[in-house]
A = this chain, B = another copy of it.
């Protein structure tokens, strides 16, 4: 089955990390080359890669640092410093559970690289299984509303539906201000021949009320122990609206973090400028402020079903 470029948007080859620059999609599909952990942290902060891309980037960054420093006696210390820098990039994404995992592995240096490579291979298989599980929830002719971007899982799920002889189509809410919905999800779905209709984020109640949508399926950036999720800002209100219109709301989840509930997840506040400008063009008048929380929490009770990444 053909993979979306966003399914595995970061690659590692010859001590160089190649990051698909999601900020330039859908106009250009170019790769940023990164050769040290500082470049990797910059790419995460600047949102050059998102969601699974950030997970891959963290693991490949460790792989890179290990390859460069494996003969050094202070390797553990070096890795701890890399972990600290990664943890500080974006507070809401649970990168710390990843860096903690690598630091535990680092206590057995001989197996360290294999542990990372094994984790990545297993992640790939689990994500494919997750898309397949999601496809089983879908009926022939279903229209799916999705939001933001789930790193290649939407087209993969759609392809599983095709194998099962189910035709599906998509509505994608554009996801201001970074427009992951229209720039990334619509792009990867269209590339694989799916029928895609874009709406603005303010049209969700209207399309749900018109009976246009059978299921809402979104991803998550953080899954707490109690089932609450953090995902791209705007997910919460879609979940409330889905409940109001009695439409199932499914979440494709990352691994569970150690956070107890959604209240314990720290929400990243992004720069005002990202909301007040588009492509360098100022939208708003001078002197106004903006509030841009990058994520919101959708409580467990609004989620019809979690589709877990099976351990």
Contacts and interface: CB of A to CB of B under 8 A. Distances in A.
Interface of A: 26-27, 171-177, 179, 182-183, 186-187, 190-191, 195-207, 209, 233-234, 236-237, 240-241, 244, 275-276, 278-279, 281-293, 296
A286 B27 CA distance: 10
A198 B33 CA distance: 36
A296 B233 contact: no
12 contacts: A174-B283, A179-B283, A187-B284, A198-B276, A200-B233, A203-B291, A205-B296, A206-B236, A240-B241, A240-B244, A278-B279, A278-B281
A270 B27 CA distance: 25
Contacts of A244: 240, 244
Given A200-B177, A275-B198, A293-B206, A190 B287 contact: yes
A185 to B, nearest CB: 10
Nearest to A148: B202
Number of identical protomers: 2
A197 B289 contact: yes
**Could you tell me the dominant secondary structure of chain A's interface residues?**
mixed
Nearest to A293: B206
B207 A291 contact: yes
Contacts of A293: 203, 206
Contacts of A177: 200
A285 B187 contact: yes
A33 to B, nearest CB: 25
Given A26-B284, A288-B196, A236 B278 contact: no
A23 to B, nearest CB: 13
Contacts of A284: 26, 174, 182-183, 186-187, 198
B207 A26 contact: no
Contact of A197 (B182, B187, B278, B288): B288
Given A190-B285, A291-B199, A291-B203, A237 B241 contact: yes
Contacts of A296: 203, 205-206, 209
A55 B128 CA distance: 56
Contacts of A171: 291
B288 A198 contact: yes
Nearest to A290: B198
Contacts of A279: 278-279, 281
A237 B205 contact: yes
A201 B176 contact: yes
Given A179-B283, A200-B275, A202-B201, A237 B237 contact: yes
Contacts of A209: 236, 296
A205 to B, nearest CB: 3
Contacts of A275: 174, 198-200
A284 B172 CA distance: 11
